[in-house]
Structure 1
Amino acid sequence: MSAGADKRVVVLAGDGIGPEVVAEARAVVDAAAARVGLRVCYDEQLIGGVAIDATGEALPERTLDACRDADAVLLGAVGGPKWDDPNAPVRPEQGLLGLRKGLGLFANLRPVRAHPALLDASPLRPERLSGVDLLVVRELTGGIYFGTPRLLEAVPGGGTRALDTMVYTDAEVRRVVALACRLAAGRRGRVTSVDKANVLESSRLWRRVATEVAAAHPAVELDHLLVDAAAMRLITSAAGFDVVVTSNMFGDILTDEASVLTGSIGMLPSASLGARGPGLYEPIHGSAPDIAGRGLANPLGAILSAAMMLRHSLDCPAGAALIERAVDDCVQAGARTADLGGSLGTAEMGAAVREALARVPAQ
């Protein structure tokens, strides 16, 4: 890649282990960038609990403005016990939801691949994991997380009742399924749309629109699966999936379940993309307050998220490939953090990736 204008990345380290894993991701990006002639500059901003403490807001306007002007956003994690009151008017998670909305991010990409060297780290039998290489595309702007919540006090006979609405429009479904079909065309050509169409009206709309969209992509094979059956198949026969597209809540739950396929949730990266503008890149794990500040967190999810950032937002697929190859090589060589049964700390694992990256032959 030839040298050009600097790529600007907003860094939102956030809470808990976020600053620790993001620091290693940045160091790996810099190492890869040096190999391919990419120039990256960073702008650190606040989000989540640390933003609440500093400004009273989970997503300060300054942070959102900086993200809108960037080429990409790299996020660590938000939340922790300090801000864990569910009745608090301002919560760290509001910062993440606000950022997705403010940047127009409608699709969350979560690749799940069982590394051959880590099959023993999973609680599942190795034969159930062989060949697992799937991509979950989760819709981000609709569904129950963005419905209208109401707490109804006056219930006949006493007591209370809570209600959350699950709303989808055909346009929201259409754009995320179309993205899933485009991504599948570059993989193995299969899309599984996951819904609950036997019960939910919003899922019946989802299924109808998904069928219409797939018809415009004849090179892609579409099948439908109820979410409970999908949850079972992720454990029993995950290698049969290629691209899975699903709604906001279902995708949230299924991808956390899928983390057992890789041996640790610390291994899983993600990218959130919109129709235009910067993408948001973050590991799918939380802030892990029990190990925060102790240098024990697995940084590979953040490092692989940074690789996705290079590929999807910084126009640097060669740098992404270098990072992914380096992660594969160091894991194959036995590098393990505690969550994978090893003894390396966060910084040591990051150093192992950078050392492996330096040995990857130039393409």
Structure 2
Amino acid sequence: MSNIFKIAILPGDGIGPEVMKQAIKILERIQKYIKKKITINTYCIGGIAIKKYSDPLPRVTLEGCEKSDAILLGSVGGPEWDHLPLHKRPEKGSLLKLRKHFNLFVNLRPSFFYKNLSILSPLKEKILNKGFDIICIRELIGGIYYGPNGIKGKGINEHAFDTEIYSRFEIERIAHIAFNIALKRNKKICSIDKANVLQTSILWRKILIEISQKYKSVKLKHMYIDNAVMQLIKNPSQFDVILCPNLFGDIISDQCAVITGSIGNLPSASFNQNYFGLYEPAGGSAPDIAGKNIANPIAQILSLAMLIEYSLKERKISVKIKNAIHKILNLGYRTKDLSINNSKEKIITTDDMGTLIMESIK
């Protein structure tokens, strides 16, 4: 086994390069705690790759990722490329291709409550007092985003279609991941579907029930997507692990993010059966604030922490990073997006936030 761990760095567009710079500071800091030597190579993706290579996912980037042990990605896209056909835009032309190429069928999106940021949450205080710690598991390379689609016909007969298809093996493999994660948490899974309407959901629910028999200690319940989005607002503390098909996971994971108060604090991980992973912030490229040194780097740094936990298998180091972030927030340091104009706040730049977190890792 190699003593070198290779990370492909894909800074992306907008604020991507600024927040990625902060994650690299953390990488340099934690190297002394990790047995393997970490090496990084940087590649273009998204809009910046379109400008340089006329391709949102150029061959050189894909080959660089193939030679790596994990991928750390910034955000991609922006209105500058909205005029392009869907398959050539940064989001679909790079992200969806990367997921499919590496068979990244699992997406993990943690959503946890920062008590000292509670005022940023849209939820009432009586709901927040219960706290919440949710992990949303989304099937990522199947379903409606990858099924047959198109626009056909002319005039009044012009029509569009998107087709959702799920095979047994796709449902089984994501279900086993979810149950094994639940075993390490509070042993509860809420599976999201629309089994009263959709055939794919009927199969999804049937297979989840079958697999649950192999995990007797995990409590499985089912919830329709429309009820689930309501319950997340009313009582998020009832959830532990939420398991979703691709489309519903896209919806639910964003709602899980917003109830924390800031999507700028939340990471995500996508990986395959070998835990080769792509790690990225949950938020977008925010081109309106790019270059101003005011973006929040916490989600990018936490994405690195997930890489260290799941791909490097160094959970203790991941916890060190998370603890450092909590410490800095508890001291009142905030980037502009986290500000509530409180006299106790200390508003700092992107660079300062990265440096303070880095220096707090002990």
> What TM-score does the superposition give when structure 2 sets the normalisation length?
0.94
Offset at 1:260? 2.0
2:228 — aligned with what? Answer: 230
| Per-residue deviation, 1:86 | 5.1
Q: Which amino acid aligns with 1:114?
A: F
Residues of 1 paired with 2:200 and 2:349: CA distance? 45
Q: Deviations over 1:116-161 (max 9, x none)?
A: 1111121212331232001000000111111111212147xx2521
Higher mean alpha-carbon deviation, 76-85 vs 124-133, is at: 124-133
- What's the RMSD between the two structures over aligned residues? 1.5
Task: Name the structure 1 match of 2:292.
Answer: 294
C-alpha contact (below 8 Å) 2:275/2:310 kept by paired residues:
no
Greater alpha carbon shift after TM alignment, 83-92 vs 25-34 = 83-92
Instruction: Quote how far apart the aligned CAs of 1:54 are.
Output: 1.1
Unpaired runs of at least 5, structure 1: 359-363
User: For 1:27 and 1:348, how far apart are their aligned partners in 2?
Assistant: 11
Q: Secondary structure at the match of 2:221?
A: strand
Residue of structure 2 equivalent to 1:137: 137
Corresponding residue pairs, total = 353
* 1:96 has 2:62 as partner: no
2:115 maps to 1:116: yes
Determine the C-alpha separation between the residues in 2 that align with 1:306 and 1:139: 21
Q: Secondary structure at the match of 2:289?
A: coil
The Cα shift of 1:34 comes to: 2.2
Q: What is the 5 A alignment of 1:170-319?
A: 170-276=168-274, 278-319=276-317
C-alpha displacement at 1:219, in angstroms? Answer: 1.5
Q: How far 1:88 moved relative to its partner?
A: 5.8
The residue matched to 1:282 in structure 2 has which SS?
strand
Residue 331 of structure 1 aligns to which amino acid in structure 2? L
* AA partner of residue 39 (structure 1): K
Match of 1:68 in 2: 66
Aligned to 2:37: 39
Look up the match of 1:351.
Answer: 355
Alignment of 1:150-161 (within 5 A): 150-154=150-154, 158-161=156-159
Residue-by-residue CA offset, 1:231-285 (whole Å, 9 max, x unaligned): 0111111111010000111111111111222210101101101012620000111
Structure-2 residue corresponding to 1:361: none
Which of residues 81, 85, 88 in structure 2 aligns to 1:87? 85
Q: Which amino acid aligns with 1:253?
A: I
Q: Percent identity?
A: 41
Select between 102-111 and 258-267 the one with higher mean Cα deviation: 258-267
2:101 aligned partner, one-letter code: G
Task: Identify which range, 128-137 or 101-110, moves more after superposition.
Answer: 128-137
Check whether the contact 1:36–1:318 (CA below 8 A) recurs between aligned residues: no
Residue 79 of structure 2 aligns with an amino acid whose one-letter code is: P
Distance 1:249 1:79, change over 3 A: same
**Corresponding letter in the other structure for 1:70:** S
SS at match of 2:8: strand
Partner residue in 1 for 2:323: 325
Contact 2:110–2:135 (CA<8 Å) still a contact in 1? yes
Deviations 1:32-76 (A, max 9, x none): 222445421101011111111111111112211221221110000
Structure 2 unaligned residues grouped into runs of 5+ = 340-344
- 1:266 & 1:38 partners in 2: Cα distance? 30
In structure 2, distance between residues paired with 1:125 and 1:85 = 40
Moved more, 300-309 or 210-219: 210-219
1:143–1:249 contact (8 Å) kept in structure 2:
yes
1:163 aligns with 2:167: no
- Distance in 1 between the 2:131 and 2:80 partners? 41
Once the two structures are TM-superposed, the CA of residue 314 in structure 1 deviates from its matched residue by 1.2
Separation in 2, partners of 1:126, 1:33: 40
Structure 1 letter corresponding to 2:355: A
Q: Distance in 2 between matches of 1:310 and 1:321?
A: 10
Deviations 1:298-341 (A, max 9, x none): 11001011000001111222211110111111112212111111
Is the 1:71–1:277 Cα contact (8 Å) retained in structure 2?
no
The Cα shift of 1:89 comes to 5.3
